[in-house]
Amino acid sequence: MITKNMEKALNGQINKEFYSAYLYLAMSAYCNKNAMPGCEHWFRTQHDEEVIHMTKMFDYLMQHGGEVHLLQIDEPPVDFGSILQAFEASLEHEQFITKSINELLDVAVAEKDHATQVFLQWFITEQVEEEANVKEIVDRLKLVGDNGAALMMIDDKLSLRAAATVAADEG
């Protein structure tokens, strides 16, 4: 049985994962508007991954006798300034999520909740990957600057991102 403190913290994280999904959906729409279909696809896939993260936490909370409390989701921006700025905002957001997951683990340790500590290990590993993936894209976009041909090549590469699936996310 999960403690009330742990339940509150997990419900807060479910909300952050929902917001992440919302944010990436907004970023995909921004890329669509700016004729970058590969970036649009990349963010859309990132949205799908966030839904998987949210569902994982939602299921875990119910499975361990916690009460799900779905909080209000904030509205994401519409305009991100530029494609580079959208990916920079994504990196900043993932760093925020990493900090939040670490704080969640601190709660699990304080509550002596060993099952949740084990459960959160998956998210800690996932965050390392999420940050690294976005950082690589930010670095490449910075390198090419305003070079249209190079931007199109990056966009083509991002269009190849594989679909998010629960199985792939667990791999």
Query: Binding to ligand FEO (CB under 6 A): which residues in 34-63?
Result: 50, 53
Least gap, CB of 145 to ligand FEO (angstroms): 27
For residue 127, the Cα-to-chain-centroid distance in whole angstroms is: 8
Least gap, CB of 123 to ligand FEO (angstroms): 7
| Alpha-carbon span 24 to 64, nearest angstrom | 29
- Among residues 28, 6, 24, the alpha carbon closest in space to that of 16 is found at 24
Using CB under 6 A as the binding rule, whether residue 130 contacts ligand FEO is answered as yes
Using CB under 6 A as the binding rule, whether residue 15 contacts ligand FEO is answered as no
| DSSP secondary structure letters along 55-114 | HHHHHHHHHTTPPP--PPPPPPPS--SSHHHHHHHHHHHHHHHHHHHHHHHHHHHHTT-H
How long is the chain?
171
Out of 7, 17, 88, 113, which residue is the one contacting ligand FEO (CB under 6 A)?
17
CB-closest chain residue to ligand FEO: 53
Tell me the per-residue interface mask from 93 to 112 with ligand FEO, x by CB under 6 A, - otherwise.
-x--x---------------
Total of residues contacting ligand FEO (CB under 6 A): 7
Other beta carbons within 10 angstroms of residue 104's beta carbon come to: 23
| Alpha-carbon span 29 to 52, nearest angstrom | 20
Least gap, CB of 129 to ligand FEO (angstroms): 9
* Site residues, ligand FEO (CB under 6 A): 17, 20, 50, 53, 94, 97, 130
